Structure 1
Amino acid sequence: MALGRGDACRARGAVGTCGAAQAALCKATAGHRQLVLQLGGSADGPRLREERRRRSTEARELSAGLQHALLAGLRQAPARPEEQRELERLWVLFLSALELFLQDLCRAHHLCQLFSTEGGGAALLRTGLGGRGPPSRKGSRRGGGPTQPPAALHLEEEIEQVRATLAEMESRANIPPWTVEATQPAGTGGTAAPAAEVTRGAPHVGHCCSVL
Structure 2
Amino acid sequence: MAREECKALLDALNKATARYHHLMLTVGGSADSQNLREELRNTRQKAQELAGATRVRLTAVLRDRGLGAEGRAEFERLWVAFSGCLDLLEADMRRALALGAAFRLHAPRWPLVRTGVAPRALSTRSLRQQADRDFEVADLRELEREILQVGQMIHDMEMKVNVPLWTVQARQAAGAELLASTGASLAGGVSVDENSGPCDPSKALAATVFSAVLLAVVALVVCVAKLS
**TM-score by shorter chain over 0.5:** yes
Q: CA deviation at 1:146?
A: 10
CA contact (8 A) 1:46 1:146 kept: no
Residue 148 of structure 1, aligned match among 135, 143, 157? 135
Structure ranking higher in helix proportion: 2
Matching of residues 159-174 of structure 1 within 5 Å = 159-174=147-162
SS at match of 2:135: coil
SS at match of 2:28: coil
Q: CA deviation at 1:71?
A: 1.0
Aligned to 1:184: 173
CA distance, structure 1, for counterparts of residue 159 and residue 35 of structure 2 = 38
CA distance, structure 1, for counterparts of residue 135 and residue 53 of structure 2 = 27
Q: CA deviation at 1:77?
A: 4.7
2:20 paired with 1:32: yes
CA distance, structure 2, for counterparts of residue 38 and residue 187 of structure 1 = 32
CA contact (8 A) 1:50 1:146 kept: no
CA contact (8 A) 2:73 2:168 kept: no
SS at match of 1:148: helix
Matching of residues 120-131 of structure 1 within 5 Å = 120=108
AA partner of residue 44 (structure 2)? S
CA contact (8 A) 1:29 1:101 kept: yes
Structure 1: give runs of 5+ residues left out of the alignment.
Answer: 1-12, 122-137, 190-212
CA distance, structure 1, for counterparts of residue 7 and residue 168 of structure 2 = 17
1:123-174, Cα deviation, whole Å (9 max, x unpaired): xxxxxxxxxxxxxxx89x89xx897241321210111111010000010001
TM norm structure 2: 0.63
TM norm structure 1: 0.68
CA distance, structure 1, for counterparts of residue 133 and residue 68 of structure 2 = 51
CA distance, structure 1, for counterparts of residue 106 and residue 15 of structure 2 = 30
AA partner of residue 100 (structure 1)? L
AA partner of residue 166 (structure 1)? I
Percent identity among equivalent residues? 37
CA RMSD of aligned residues (A): 2.5
| CA pair 187-158 structure 1, distance change in 2 beyond 3 A | farther
Aligned to 1:128: none
Structure 2: give runs of 5+ residues left out of the alignment.
Answer: 110-124, 179-228
CA contact (8 A) 1:36 1:104 kept: yes
AA partner of residue 69 (structure 1)? R
Q: CA deviation at 1:76?
A: 2.5
Q: CA deviation at 1:177?
A: 1.1
AA partner of residue 84 (structure 1)? R
2:8 paired with 1:20: yes
Q: Which has the higher contact order (CA 8 A, sep 6+)?
A: 1
